[in-house]
Structure 1
Amino acid sequence: MKFHSKRATAFSALLLSGAMVLTACGGDSESADGGDGGSSSEAVSITMLPKNLGNPYFDTSTKGAKAAATDLGDDLEEVGPETASPDAQVQYINTAAQQGVGALIVSANDPTAICDALNEARDAGTKVVTFDSDTDPECRDLFINQATAEGIAKVQLELIAEQIGGSGEIAILSASANATNQNAWIKMMESELESNPDYADIELVDTVYGDDDDQKSFDETAALLQSHPDLKGIISPTTVGISAAARYLSDSDKKGKVMLTGLGTPNQMREYVKDGTVTAFALWNPEDLGALATYAADALATGEINGDPGDKFQAGDLGEYTVEEDNSVLLGDPFVFDESNIDDFDF
């Protein structure tokens, strides 16, 4: 998978300043206060609510969000539970509403369970932007989509098919059973496996859930290999899952025999690519995703956009983005990491 030329240019520029950009297009619009992409001189208070704290993926997305907030002159605070559950997120949503924050950015642990709390926050005047994992559309103002479900499913199937030679048993190691994004990607992969003749000789034999917990994901990998002795490949569309599975495989006699791909970060996966446990995997840049969510939240809170299809806003060095028909904003295509390029990235 290749960069578009404009994105590659933006990446090169940001690399010099220490920010890693996978999908970007240059922009030079300036706000009234002189910032790149800012829309108001008045600071917007923003609360960032990931699925859980201490997750390297969300640490990176929050890093991007904070950089964007600094660019805009906004105040951004990260809050969140230690474990990824919808009930644990509700209290933080309620607190944000009570504090009267201008915008709330949330990665949903469930598509419906946090809707009542989100809509109460919206009724109180807080703009709600989901990112990474969406709620039902009526519960938010915008969804910042890291990539389409079709695109994410496609790249992972292409990678595993290539790695196992186009035939054999595969399994999926997912996050939680009710994770919106995971389930959408898995459904697309299942459909593609059933309908695409290129995958006629590949059989999905199991889907298991590690709940985005490192030890549980590690244990589920061991159980998969025991339950399916003929397994040839594992897809783990979660950064916690793929790194835990790689750690298990790297010290087992299945290393190099059971192939592993999915969605991971370069820093988590570098050693496993270097030692031959993993050939290639994919991801968008979570730092860009957090930044884009923050620019969108600011644009909503300041009235620059309403979140309607066709609305356009500037996202700093990421460029101009347009709201799509489903009231979402698409970051871009997934990017494939392998031994040839993994050392070019640091997140």
Structure 2
Amino acid sequence: MITSLQRRKRAALAVTSAGLVAALIAGCGGTTKGSDAASDSGGSGTEKTADPNAPIKEGLKIAFLPKEIDNPYENIVDKGGIAAVEELKGTGKEVGPSDASASSQVSYINTLVQQNQDAIVIAANDPNAVAPALKDAMDKGIAVVSYDSDAAVDARQVFVNQADSEDIGRSQIKMVSEQIGGKGKIAILSATPNATNQNTWIEYMKDELTKPEYKDIQLVKVAYGDDDDQKSFQETQALLKSIPDLKAIVSPTTVGISAAARYISSSPYKGKVVLTGLGTPNQMRQFVKDGTVKEFALWDPEQLGYLAGYAAAALASGQITGKEGEVLKAGELGERTIGKNGEIILGPPTVFNADNIDDYNF
């Protein structure tokens, strides 16, 4: 955690419905970058060489596009990203749809292209649904960074991953196994069926369960709350009523785990059914203190956004191209080496429980 980053005054641009409509209308009159810009900024199909000594351009316009505009976790991520952009003397903003459907982000990408943004930073609802629009953005010289939930590899230049996907998936099985004594039925409450990050983690969770030490744990269902609070609440209720001997729910989504905790906390299942997964301390604090949840995990989402903001600025300035082995200079986070397929990893997640949750404020 970066205390100095948290102390800095941030002015995240929250988009209201009226402001969003105005932004979309204004975007229709914008111009797109020409073919020269595409060759300068690494559009798809253009081979580029990074110049690590190139200065970060001042006045960059960088837009952050979450899965949905009202997702509290991604609002925190984007807040950190906007802070990074402003630190680099650019302008950052957050725009996005009110729902997390597969194609809901496409119109926003098209508008950001029309607005002549220098970079788009996106958490993709569906890796393939957004790919054509993102490729068009790169062809027009706009740098594209994905974070949290990746887009198709050829539809972005860099993917900023919160932690190693395998570690995230396997660690959640280890956490739930410890809490249920290594035996019993478990269910997963995920986000959307097409969410890249969720599906990757779930595959590693399933693989982890094939190990001999988990032979007495049975994954009976994967449910989807679509990263919607009310639907996740209802899915939790349905899981517990349809599987009477369910021992635990693992929810690798901040929206899902908080909704599940809210339901369990005021139900007869409190203290009987384990809940763990990925959540923010501020969302989960009351449920840890009232005994609904023993422990859960997450990385610092503000740092994730900060790293993505620096990656976008470095791409737009020609410092990096997303090639494996390049080094990103990420301000207060130090340096990160770009891995295979343009992946940059923030770092391992933190496990939160009653002993340390009050040490964190995000």
Same fold at TM > 0.5: yes
Kindly state the Cα deviation for residue 77 of structure 1 after the two structures are TM-superposed: 1.4
DSSP 3-state at the match of 2:133: helix
Instruction: Indicate the residue corresponding to 2:69 in structure 1.
Output: 53
Map 1:1-347; keep pairs closer than 5 Å: 11=2, 14=5, 39-194=55-210, 196-347=211-362
Q: Is the 8 A contact 2:250 2:277 kept in 1?
A: yes
Q: Deviations over 1:118-161 (max 9, x none)?
A: 00111011010000000110111110011122111122111100
Per-residue CA shift, 1:283-314, capped at 9, x if unaligned? 11111111100000000000011111111121
- Verify the 8 A CA contact 2:227 2:255 in the aligned structure 1: yes
Shift of 1:99: 1.8
Question: CA 1:70 to 1:172, structure 2 compared with 1: closer, same or farther past 3 Å?
Answer: same
Q: Which runs of 4+ in 1 moved over 6 A?
A: none
Q: What is the root-mean-square deviation in Å for CA atoms of aligned residues? A: 1.6
Contact kept? 2:54, 2:319, Cα under 8 Å:
no
Task: Count residues in correspondence.
Answer: 320
Q: In the TM superposition, what whole-angstrom CA distance separates every residue of 1:185-224 from its partner, at most 9, and x where no partner exists?
A: 1111011102x11111100011100001111111111111
Amino acid at match of 2:298: L
C-alpha contact 1:122 1:128 (8 A) present in aligned 2 = yes
Q: Give the gaps of 5 or more residues in structure 1.
A: 1-9, 20-36
How has the CA–CA distance of structure 1 residues 15 and 277 changed in structure 2, closer, same or farther, with 3 Å as cutoff?
same
Deviation per CA, 1:224-278: give whole Å up to 9, x if none.
Answer: 1111111111000000000000011101111011000000000100000000000
Instruction: State the percentage of identical aligned residues.
Output: 54
Secondary structure of 2:209's partner?
Answer: helix
Shift of 1:42: 2.2
Are the counterparts in 2 of residues 160 and 235 from structure 1 also a CA contact under 8 Å?
yes
Q: How many Å apart are 1:12 and its aligned residue?
A: 5.3
**What residue is the counterpart of 1:32 in the other structure?**
none
Partners of 1:93 and 1:117 within 8 A in 2? yes
Letter paired with 2:323: D
Whether the 8 Å contact between 1:155 and 1:282 is mirrored in structure 2 is: no
Q: Distance in 2 between matches of 1:113 and 1:219?
A: 27
Q: What letter is aligned with 1:306?
A: T
Q: Which amino acid aligns with 1:325?
A: K
Deviations 1:308-333, CA, capped at 9 Å, x for gaps: 11111211111111110221101111
AA in 1 matched with 2:258: S
